[in-house]
């Protein structure tokens, strides 16, 4: 395996980690106004992701940095052509982060309600637009002979990409509901379990349609088919575990479903990194978009040294904050 292929796989792993980890806290944010019936319940919902949400965002920062260094042509074309949707994602993430920090600065109910709306919007917008972005990456976009995006914003809002956005949104809501059922006690746990069951059925239908469309009408491949079948099985297994009240296994099922769905997209995409719908000769591939071998070699050694440290630290964070919480753990205002 050459280094450009290795770094394509590593970027796929980074985005997989991002969608699995940030996916559940996007889902929690979307469910905040649904499950948080009063102030104490809303604080429980927020506190389930309070220690980890900012660490989860590190994955996408690392993925973006890896794209910039390993595939500068891919990074430049993607971030210029997808400028508006990526800007909206960035603005939503900033708003969401500020909301987490400022929500508790005042006891005024209206103050808290405004920031709760910011958390909801800052979670929903990225959950939807990340799917739209990756749908366009897999489907392909209008690239000219200079590998520059020749389309407009509305070209990105095609039916396939919009369906991809609905898939990521529904999967993240399901994943977040399962996480809340795993991390909470009492009535919130029961309601989260029920929401996970309903949202999971919607996600399963949308995901099956999207994956079938991907493999039959957009891009296929034996590996993509295998990953797609495994993703469907993992999601169904997670929903069955959730129905049985086994939240730990349910969370593993939804996490595996998201990871395998991302693997499906990247395996269908390879060896391209950004296909062209105008002419296949204009497509960006792992070969014509990559950095020099020397750059990739240095990056590989840096990754070998620092990746285990980051994984150990984040794993330790989840272990420390593993206990369930409930309304009884929240003091009166």
Q: What is the pLDDT of residues 59-86, one digit of tens each?
A: 998 999 999 999 999 999 998 989 999 9
pLDDT tens-digit map of 84-119: 999 999 999 999 999 999 998 888 889 999 999 999
CA distances from 90 to 3, 85, 158, 162 (A): 30, 9, 22, 19
180 in Cβ contact with 34 (< 8 Å): no
182 band by pLDDT with thresholds 50, 70 and 90: very high
pTM of the model: 0.94
**pLDDT at residue 133 is higher than 80:** yes
Report helix angle 3-35 to 293-320, nearest 10: 30
What is the model's pLDDT at position 104?
86
What is the model's pLDDT at position 153?
84
| 158: Cβ contacts below 8 Å, ≥ 6 apart | 135, 136, 139
What is the model's pLDDT at position 154?
87
147 in Cβ contact with 187 (< 8 Å): no
138 band by pLDDT with thresholds 50, 70 and 90: very high
Look at residue 150 and give its three-state secondary structure: coil
At residue 127's C-alpha, the angle toward residues 123 and 131, to 5°, is 165
| 232: Cβ contacts below 8 Å, ≥ 6 apart | 204, 207, 208, 211, 257
pLDDT tens-digit map of 3-13: 999 999 999 99
**pLDDT at residue 24 is higher than 80:** yes
**pLDDT at residue 1 is higher than 70:** no
Most distant CA pair in the chain: distance in Å?
Answer: 64
59 in Cβ contact with 313 (< 8 Å): no
- Residues 191, 296: Cα–Cα separation, whole Å: 48
104 in Cβ contact with 330 (< 8 Å): no
What is the model's pLDDT at position 127?
96
Round the average pLDDT of the chain to a whole number and report it: 91
What is the model's pLDDT at position 128?
96
**pLDDT at residue 179 is higher than 80:** yes
**pLDDT at residue 170 is higher than 90:** yes
Helix, strand, coil distribution of the chain in percent, nearest 5? 80, 5, 15
pLDDT tens-digit map of 292-332: 999 999 999 988 988 888 889 889 989 998 889 888 888 77
CA distances from 198 to 44, 169, 243, 273, 297 (A): 22, 14, 10, 35, 47
What is the model's pLDDT at position 147?
85
Residue with tokens 């699995």: 20
What is the model's pLDDT at position 297?
92
Which domains does the chain show, CATH number per domain?
A: 3-329 (1.20.1630.10)
Host H or E run for residue 284 = strand 284-285
pLDDT tens-digit map of 236-251: 999 999 999 899 999 9
Reference 82, options 92, 94, 74; nearest CA is 74
Residue with tokens 């491949």: 221
What is the model's pLDDT at position 176?
96
134-158 mean pLDDT: 89
228 in Cβ contact with 211 (< 8 Å): yes
pLDDT tens-digit map of 13-22: 999 999 999 9
| 50: Cβ contacts below 8 Å, ≥ 6 apart | 100
What is the model's pLDDT at position 54?
86
pLDDT tens-digit map of 28-52: 999 999 998 888 999 999 999 988 8
What is the model's pLDDT at position 333?
63
């Amino acid at each position: 395996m050459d280094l450009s292929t290795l770094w394509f796989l590593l970027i796929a792993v980074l985005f997989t980690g991002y969608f699995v980890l940030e996916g559940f806290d996007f889902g929690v944010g979307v469910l905040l106004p649904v499950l948080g019936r009063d102030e104490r319940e809303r604080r429980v919902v927020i506190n389930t992701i309070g220690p980890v949400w900012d660490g989860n965002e590190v994955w996408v920062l690392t993925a973006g940095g890896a794209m910039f260094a390993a595939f500068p042509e891919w990074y430049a074309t993607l971030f210029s052509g997808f400028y508006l949707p990526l800007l909206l994602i960035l603005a939503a993430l900033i708003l969401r982060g500020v909301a987490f920090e400022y929500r508790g600065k005042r006891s005024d109910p209206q103050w808290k309600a405004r920031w709760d709306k910011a958390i909801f919007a800052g979670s929903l917008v990225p959950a939807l637009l990340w799917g739209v972005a990756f749908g366009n990456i897999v489907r392909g976009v209008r690239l000219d002979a200079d590998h520059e995006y020749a389309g407009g914003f509305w070209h990105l809002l095609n039916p396939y990409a919009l369906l991809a956005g609905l898939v990521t949104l529904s999967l993240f809501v399901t994943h977040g509901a399962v996480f809340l059922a795993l991390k909470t006690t009492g009535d919130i746990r029961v309601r989260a379990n029920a929401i996970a069951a309903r949202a999971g059925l919607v996600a399963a239908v949308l995901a099956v349609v999207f994956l079938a469309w991907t493999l039959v009408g957009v891009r296929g491949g034996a590996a993509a088919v295998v990953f797609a079948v495994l993703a469907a099985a993992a999601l169904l297994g997670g929903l069955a575990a959730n129905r049985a009240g086994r939240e730990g296994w349910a969370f593993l099922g939804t996490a595996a479903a998201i990871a395998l769905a991302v693997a499906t997209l990247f395996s269908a995409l390879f060896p391209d990194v950004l296909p062209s719908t105008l002419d296949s000769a204009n497509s960006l591939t792992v070969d014509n978009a990559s950095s020099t071998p020397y750059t990739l070699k240095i990056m590989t050694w840096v990754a070998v040294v620092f990746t285990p440290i980051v994984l150990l630290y984040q794993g330790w964070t989840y272990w420390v904050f593993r206990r369930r919480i409930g309304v009884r753990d929240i003091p009166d205002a």
